[in-house]
C-alpha cells in the first residue's frame, strides 16, 4: 500500500487542503449532495453520507453548509445535479491512473482530464484498461503520534479490519468496503481523527519512477487534484522520498 500513502504524504507536505479550503468545501458539498441523493438524508441509515459528514466536520465546514448540501441531495432545496464518472488512463512511465469525478458537465470534465494527461506525458485510456490493477478497500491512515499502536490495532481488528500496517510514520488500516464504516467509527471512538479515511482503490502492485518521469508524474497528479471536478486520484506509482522532496524544493 506504500504508493497510496506516499501520495497522501505528498499532499500533506504541500498543505493542499489548508491552502485551498474553499476548493475542499466545494468538493465535500458535491459529495454530500450525491451521497444524500443516492442513499437518503439520514446519516444513521446512510454510511456513505455519515463518512462524508465526518470529513466535512474534520475540515471545519459550517453546519449550515452541510445541512444545505444534504437538503439539495434529497430534493428539499433546488440545486445542481452531479454525475459520478470513473476515467482511466496512464501517466509518465506507463503508470496506471484511476480518476473519480463528480461533475455537472461531462464534456468539460473529460476535456480537462484529457488535456492534463496529454500535457504531462500521459493519455486517457478505455474502460477497464487499468481498473483491473486496483482493489476496492476501506483505507484509514493514522499518524503514529495520534494513537497507541496496540489500542488502535485492537479496536480496528475487533471492528472488522483485514490488515494493520506500519507505513512511513503512520499506521495503515485496511478493511473491506463493507466493514469500512464500522472500522472508521471504532477509530474515531478512541478520540483519534484519521489523516485519511475513505473507500479507496488500492493498487495490487507498483511502478517505480525516478528522475524526470517521477517529477512529471508529481506535477500531473498535482494538476489533476486541482481540477474542481476531480474527487479522487488513484495511481500505482511509487516515488522515493528524495524525489518528493525535490518536487517541493
Q: Which domains occur in the chain, in start order? A: 2-74 (1.10.10.200), 84-125+205-240 (3.30.70.980), 133-203 (3.30.70.980)
How would residue 88 be classed by pLDDT, with cut points 50, 70 and 90?
Answer: very high
User: How confident is the model over 149-178, as a mean pLDDT?
Assistant: 92
**Torsion angles phi and psi, residue 177, rounded to 5:** -60, -35
Give CA angle at 114 (108, 116), nearest 5°: 100
Which helix (H) or strand (E) segment holds residue 140: the answer is strand 134-143
- R_g of the chain computed on alpha carbons: 18
The helix, strand and coil proportions of the chain, stated in percent and rounded to the nearest 5, come to 55, 25, 25
CB 203 within 8 A of CB 235: yes
User: How confident is the model over 51-72, as a mean pLDDT?
Assistant: 90
Distance CA 156, CA 165 (A): 11
pTM attached to this predicted model: 0.80
Lowest mean pLDDT among 6-20, 21-35, 93-107, 216-230: 6-20
Distance CA 13, CA 219 (A): 14
Distance CA 184, CA 51 (A): 8
DSSP string, 142-210: EEGGGS-HHHHHHHHHHHT-SEEEEETTEEEEEE-TTTHHHHHHHHHHTT---SEEEEEEEESS-EEE-
pLDDT value of residue 10? 54
User: How confident is the model over 82-92, as a mean pLDDT?
Assistant: 94
User: How confident is the model over 166-186, as a mean pLDDT?
Assistant: 90
Question: Residue 12 burial (CB < 10 Å; 0-12/13-18/19+)?
Answer: middle
Q: What is the pLDDT of residues 107-150, one digit of tens each?
A: 999 999 999 999 999 999 999 999 999 999 999 999 999 999 99
CB 182 within 8 A of CB 159: yes
**Is 3 a residue whose pLDDT tops 60?**
no
Distance CA 221, CA 230 (A): 11
User: What CA–CA distances, in Å, run from 1 to 6, 15, 165, 189?
Assistant: 9, 22, 9, 25
Residues β-bridged to residue 170: 143, 167
Residues 6+ apart with CB under 8 A from 241: none
pLDDT value of residue 18? 45
Q: What is the pLDDT of residues 187-234, one digit of tens each?
A: 999 999 888 888 889 999 899 999 999 999 989 988 998 898 998 899
Enter the C-alpha cell of residue 202: 488500492
Amino acid at each position: 500500500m506504500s504508493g497510496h500513502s506516499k501520495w497522501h504524504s505528498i499532499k500533506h507536505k504541500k498543505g493542499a487542503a489548508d491552502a485551498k479550503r474553499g476548493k475542499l468545501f466545494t468538493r465535500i458539498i458535491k459529495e454530500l449532495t450525491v451521497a444524500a441523493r443516492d442513499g437518503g438524508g439520514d446519516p444513521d441509515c446512510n454510511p456513505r453520507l455519515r463518512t462524508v459528514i465526518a470529513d466535512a466536520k474534520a475540515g471545519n465546514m459550517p453546519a449550515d453548509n452541510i445541512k444545505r448540501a444534504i437538503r439539495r441531495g434529497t430534493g428539499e432545496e433546488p440545486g445542481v445535479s452531479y454525475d459520478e464518472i470513473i476515467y482511466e488512463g496512464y501517466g509518465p512511465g506507463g503508470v496506471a491512473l484511476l480518476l473519480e469525478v463528480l461533475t455537472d458537465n461531462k464534456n468539460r470534465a473529460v476535456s480537462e482530464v484529457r488535456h492534463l494527461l496529454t500535457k504531462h506525458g500521459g493519455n486517457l485510456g478505455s474502460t477497464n484498461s487499468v481498473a483491473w490493477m486496483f482493489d476496492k478497500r476501506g483505507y484509514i491512515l493514522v499518524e503514529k503520534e495520534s494513537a497507541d499502536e496496540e489500542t488502535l490495532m485492537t479496536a480496528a481488528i475487533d471492528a472488522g479490519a483485514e490488515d494493520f500496517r506500519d507505513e512511513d510514520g503512520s499506521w495503515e488500516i485496511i478493511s473491506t468496503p463493507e466493514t469500512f464504516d464500522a472500522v472508521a467509527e471504532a477509530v474515531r471512538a478512541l478520540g483519534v481523527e484519521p489523516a485519511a479515511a475513505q473507500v479507496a482503490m488500492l493498487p495490487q502492485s507498483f511502478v517505480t519512477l525516478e528522475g524526470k518521469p517521477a517529477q512529471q508524474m508529481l506535477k500531473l497528479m498535482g494538476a489533476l487534484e486541482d481540477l474542481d471536478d476531480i474527487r479522487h486520484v488513484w495511481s500505482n506509482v511509487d516515488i522515493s522520498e528524495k524525489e518528493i522532496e525535490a518536487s517541493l524544493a
